[in-house]
Amino acid sequence: MSALREALAAEAARLGFVAFGIAPADAAPAAGARLRQWLAEGCHGDMLWMAETESRRASPRGLWPEVRSVVMLGMSYASPHDPRRLAEHPDRAAISVYAQGEDYHEVVKKRLKTLARWLVAAAPDAGVKVFVDTAPVMEKPLAEAAGLGWQGKHTNLVSRAHGSWLFLGSIMTTLELGLDLAADAPHADRCGSCDRCQVACPTAAFPAPYRLDARRCISYLTIEHKGPVPDEFRAALGNRIYGCDDCLAACPWNRFAAVAQAMQAFRPRAELAAPRLADLLALDDAAFRAVFSGSPIKRIGRDRFVRNCLYAAGNSGDAALRPAVAALAGDPDPGVADAAAWALARLAERTAASTH
């Protein structure tokens, strides 16, 4: 098994995975209790599927009773650009780093399947299942247990070598894979007294270190939340129209992320690195689908996306955007129409304030 593990790690590296570790299926026993408390507090908001799948999500064996080992893998999407560089350019739309390139679901899963086929060829009796953010798997606690990093105070995984810019995937197997006690040991928490991620959050989404209230998180509000965003958060969205990287970008460990090791497929597409709000506001459903083909952004649909762009337009203070915003005031989608009305009112307020 030691030789198989080494060969598996080498094949994973050949396929572009920069982080590798193995954990027993029962390696994160406390994760289930933390999940149940989080759900009981209602911190999952509209993500009802998390409560519906809680019993399977709490442990890999709840999802697949035969699993014995979990191979955890990380693929880098470290960007050459500062994720917060567009904060001073309100006419531009800020898109989370992870969504500026190809859809990670497709890229990572394809390579996971290739690696799983390699494993079955090497060990024909092995049963395998691959997962990448599309099933009730608690990737971050398992990655921590497998030695890839630790869950930081912002609740995301932090790697000493790759910062927080890792897409996680897993291969569950019926094999009892031998563990490397040095490489696969659970990672120690190295956040120390640092609170930069907590301070950086525009909406105070962290009620305490290591706890996230998704209902206040910009990533949740712009991606998962249906209908109008609560009034109290709209100004704080700034020009962020899909996700938010502020807590990750603030983490000192990201200074060590090796941009050169990022998968080429995740390099920012030119049209998504700093798109003009005026162009995005003009997208109808067909144009939206064309622009975001092959992007994870496509899954939220045109209506939710344009809703987010309207909040950004209202926050921009750019009077030149008023015609584009006004054109959406009668949109058939209630969320879009509501956002357009809010944006027009906010633009009027800021224009009035600038003339006094």
Q: What is the pLDDT of residue 179?
A: 66
Q: Residue 90: what are its φ and ψ, rounded to 5°?
A: -65, -15
Q: What is the pLDDT of residue 213?
A: 97
Tell me which residue has tokens 């490489």.
Answer: 183
Q: What is the pLDDT of residue 132?
A: 94
Residue 356: pLDDT over 60: no
Q: What is the pLDDT of residue 184?
A: 72
Cα three-residue angle 246-351-239, rounded to 5 degrees: 20
Q: What is the pLDDT of residue 17?
A: 97
Q: What is the pLDDT of residue 29?
A: 81
Asked whether 306 and 229 are in contact (CB, 8 A), the reply is no
Q: What is the pLDDT of residue 182?
A: 57
Indicate the pLDDT class of residue 315, thresholds 50, 70 and 90. Answer: very high
CA distance 2 to 214: 41
- Model-level pTM? 0.93
Indicate the pLDDT class of residue 50, thresholds 50, 70 and 90. Answer: confident
Residue 351: pLDDT over 80: no
Average pLDDT, the chain: 93
Return the closest-CA partner of residue 275 out of 78, 102, 103, 100: 100
Residue 120: pLDDT over 80: yes
Query: Of the ranges 31-40, 198-207, 314-323, which one carries the lowest mean pLDDT score?
Result: 31-40
CA distance 50 to 45: 10
Residue 79: pLDDT over 80: yes
Q: What stretches of 15-81 show up as alpha helix (H) in DSSP?
A: 31-40, 48-52, 54-57, 60-63
| Measured CA distances, 117 to 28, 111, 121, 313 (Å) | 26, 10, 6, 48
Cα three-residue angle 38-43-46, rounded to 5 degrees: 125
Q: Give me the mean pLDDT over the 37-57 stretch.
A: 85
Indicate the pLDDT class of residue 30, thresholds 50, 70 and 90. Answer: confident
The predicted-structure confidence for 215-264, as pLDDT tens digits, reads as follows: 999 999 999 999 999 999 999 999 999 999 999 999 999 988 878 789 99
Using DSSP's 3-state secondary structure scheme, residue 24 falls into: strand
Q: What is the pLDDT of residue 135?
A: 84
CA distance 27 to 49: 24
CA distance 219 to 215: 10
Cα three-residue angle 77-44-335, rounded to 5 degrees: 85
Indicate the pLDDT class of residue 353, thresholds 50, 70 and 90. Answer: low
Backbone region of residue 90 per phi and psi (left: phi > 0; alpha: psi in -120 to 50; beta: other values): alpha
Residue 61: pLDDT over 60: yes
Taking residue 49's Cβ as centre, other Cβ atoms within 10 Å add up to 11
Q: Give me the mean pLDDT over the 334-342 stretch.
A: 98
More confident residue, 356 or 41: 41
Residue 37: pLDDT over 70: yes
The predicted-structure confidence for 145-198, as pLDDT tens digits, reads as follows: 999 999 999 999 999 999 999 999 999 999 998 766 555 778 889 999 999 999
What residues are annotated to the active site?
133
Q: What is the pLDDT of residue 354?
A: 63
Asked whether 123 and 69 are in contact (CB, 8 A), the reply is no
Query: Of the ranges 5-9, 37-41, 132-136, 319-323, which one carries the lowest mean pLDDT score?
Result: 132-136
Q: Residue 135: what are its φ and ψ, rounded to 5°?
A: -145, 160
Using DSSP's 3-state secondary structure scheme, residue 59 falls into: coil
